[in-house]
Chains A and B, each alone.
Chain A
Amino acid sequence: AQKVTQAQTEISVVEKEDVTLDCVYETRDTTYYLFWYKQPPSGELVFLIRRNSFDEQNEISGRYSWNFQKSTSSFNFTITASQVVDSAVYFCALIVTGGGNKLTFGTGTQLKVEL
């Protein structure tokens, strides 16, 4: 069975600091997809990024960047120069091709960005 672990329950930073959210996954499938979702206080999950298991290139989108390393089964998410609007719960999730198309989520990391 697949599993996603987000060991950081809560992180607090001061605005403009950089912050990295950790994600470690477990699966025996060789083909899988990794995701990050943001859940602001309003509650709606917002899709941020998808990576497939064959593409280990890191990705940057504005202040967001993602580091995918198959060797350590990690898919970490970094926010550069954090802002108060980044405060939310962030979920890492996994889809394995042998398991239908259902998302397996981690328990989430609550990020608080303070002035």
Chain B
Amino acid sequence: GAGVSQTPSNKVTEKGKYVELRCDPISGHTALYWYRQSLGQGPEFLIYFQGTGAADDSGLPNDRFFAVRPEGSVSTLKIQRTERGDSAVYLCASSSTSGGLKGNEQFFGPGTRLTVL
């Protein structure tokens, strides 16, 4: 079946603008994650949804970042007043909860490359 999809693949914006990044998880996966990957680094956790609710948002760097998943499927990561330091690849992943959630492998999308000029 289809994997995790993310749109847009690339986003260029100006400092101070608002952006939305979209993630469409694998069908049936109730858990959804957002990570951010800076150049030369490993992905860093931002937020995790179980169903519609954010189960852990401890990785969001500040209150300019917000994410929603209103129907328990597609998720949108929203960044307000973007800064040059927000430039990175934003990765989305999903996992199933069959057999319990802990440690289930997470399947990643291709990412959205965000560039803030």
Contact = CB atoms under 8 A, between A and B. Distances in A.
B42 A93 contact: yes
Contact of B42 (A43, A47, A106): A106
How many A residues touch the partner, as a band? 20 to 34
Nearest to B89: A43
B105 interface: yes
Contacts of A47: 105-108
B111 A104 contact: no
Given A43-B111, A44-B108, A47-B107, A101 B102 contact: yes
Contact of B103 (A43, A95, A106, A107): A95
B41 A107 contact: yes
A52 B100 CA distance: 14
B56 interface: yes
A71 interface: no
Contact of A50 (B33, B45, B48, B105): B105
A33 interface: yes
Nearest to B109: A44
A66 interface: no
Given A101-B31, A103-B106, 12 more contacts: A4-B42, A33-B102, A37-B108, A44-B111, A91-B43, A95-B103, A97-B103, A102-B56, A102-B59, A103-B35, A103-B45, A108-B42
